[in-house]
Amino acid sequence: MTSTKDTGPAVDHPSGDGRVRVDGGRPWPITLDNWQDAPFSRWAFAHAEEIVPTATVRRAGPAALPETVPGAAGDSGLGRLPVPFGGTEVPLEDFLAASFADAFVVSDRSGVRYESYRGAMDPRRRHLLMSVSKSLCGLLIGQLAGDGLLDPAEPAAGYVPELTGSAFGTATLQQILDMTVAVEYSEDYHDPASHVRLQDRLAGWRPRLAGDPENAFELLSSLRASGRHGERFQYCSAATDVLAWVAERVTGIRYADLLSRRLWQHLPVADDAQMTVDPAGFAFANGGMATTARDLAAVGRLVLDHGLVGGRPVVPAGWLAATAAGGDRRAARGTVFQGIHPRGSYRNHWWVTGDDHGSVYATGIYGQYLWIDPAAGIVVVKFSSLPVATTGDWSRAHARVFRRICASP
């Protein structure tokens, strides 16, 4: 976090240097080196399947999420709602423009109250979720636990022996879900030498370098412990890929197909989702999911409805209740997250705010959000192409805006 005073996150979207041209709405040239960077990202995040290999996460049945409430989109009162930003209040539409929103959907139990699309997006186009993907993995693991296929109290090596000797081998699945594994791992998105950038390369998101591990399995098995597990929150993207590996091992089904069979086909979604996969077919579970904004709102509705869809259980209610109750707040002391949400914690791959509304959310770099407010009965989805991966100021600004929306009539 660069400041504790919200004077408004200030950042200009790079416009290119004259060598960038636009052909048919597509900035050119897009490469594995630049597609995650502005100005290319606004198009690329909505066309990931044209850049990296993807697997289909198939839906089943017609969409049940109602169409936009009459008058909700376009010239709506919500679009003009004053929201806190930059030390003042601005119309929501102005915040969306300033925060590089690609898609924005507000849904309540009656349907979609408001939606807005910019750049390359439209209601039927998928957008990368980045680390919102992690929270969907958390729902899947909850299903598998509910069916007795795995026990969160057991160490990961009990399910994937190849993890023996690694940091994750001795960590319990619950510690992995709560990001309290002590592991030598760098999550610095801008450091080419970081582990998270290495994972990008292994996933096919960036060009490989000489000396990189053969595949993701080799990397996950090689990560070493840095201390005792369960004592400190350490956000680590590799944790989600370990959970995906466990899920595949206990079911014998590929991760993308598992998401389809156990989650996507049970939701009132209108479109198939996608999951990027590496050359070996292993899913990039920690960030590779892509959905439409409306379909992600259906995931939020699932959480609001205690895991039920049409009265049928999809995710165990007890798992969602434990998630909403939060994790160990002490483990997150001193983090930027608790600077924004003082009673916050992390549980089952979801961010738990600890606020009076019981709000929980999923978030990903470059401004991806799924915000769920149980007290207000509102779900907010935001896809973005921010030119910076993450900052405390932007996180604080989004939380304030989402809370204002959820408090509006």
What's the pLDDT tens digit per position in 65-106? 555 544 344 445 899 999 999 999 999 999 999 999 999 999
Q: Given this model, what pLDDT does residue 409 score? A: 82
List the domains of the chain with CATH numbers. 52-132+144-150+253-407 (3.40.710.10), 156-238 (1.20.58.710)
Selection from 372, 370, 373 nearest residue 381 by Cα: 370
Mean pLDDT throughout 338-342? 97
Give the CA radius of gyration of the chain.
Answer: 20
Residue with tokens 């993807």: 54
Q: For the chain, what is the largest distance between any 2 Cα atoms, rounded to a whole number of angstroms?
A: 58
Count of other CB atoms within 10 angstroms of residue 16:
12
pLDDT at 353 over 80: yes
Predicted local distance difference test score (pLDDT) of residue 20: 64
**Across-strand partners of 22?**
27
pLDDT (0 to 100) of residue 305: 97
Residue 330, C-beta contacts closer than 8 angstroms, at least 6 positions apart? none
CA distance 160 to 139: 20
Per-residue confidence (pLDDT) for residue 76, from 0 to 100: 56
pLDDT at 207 (0 to 100): 96
Alpha helices (H) along 32-178: 41-44, 92-98, 132-146, 167-170, 173-177
Structure tokens at 75: 């010239």
Cis-peptide, bond into residue 29, ω within 30° of zero? yes
For residues 133 and 127, give the distance between their C-alpha atoms in angstroms, rounded to a whole number: 11
CA–CA separation, 400 and 294 (whole Å): 22
**For residues 117 and 385, is the Cβ–Cβ distance under 8 A?**
no
So what's the pLDDT on residue 9?
A: 52
- Counted residue by residue, the chain has a size of 409
Q: What is the pLDDT of residues 127-141, one digit of tens each?
A: 999 999 999 999 999
Amino acid at 323: T
Residue 74 has a pLDDT of 46
Note the pLDDT tens digit of each residue in 177-231: 999 999 999 999 999 999 999 999 999 999 999 999 999 999 999 999 999 999 9
Tell me, what DSSP letter sits at residue 12? Answer: P
Residue 15 confidence (pLDDT): 42
C-alpha closest to that of 383 among 42, 112, 151: 42
Inform me whether the pLDDT recorded for 1 exceeds 90: no
Spot the catalytic one: 131, 135, 166, 260.
131
pLDDT grade for 280, boundaries at 50, 70 and 90: confident
pLDDT at 16: 43
Q: In this structure, how many other beta carbons lie within 10 angstroms of the beta carbon of residue 391?
A: 16
Over residues 3-51, the pLDDT tens digits come to: 223 334 544 444 444 456 666 667 878 999 999 999 999 999 999 999 9
State yes or no: is 260 an active-site residue.
no
- Burial letters for 247-265: b for 16+ Cβ neighbours within 10 Å, e otherwise? bbeebeebbbbbbbebbbe
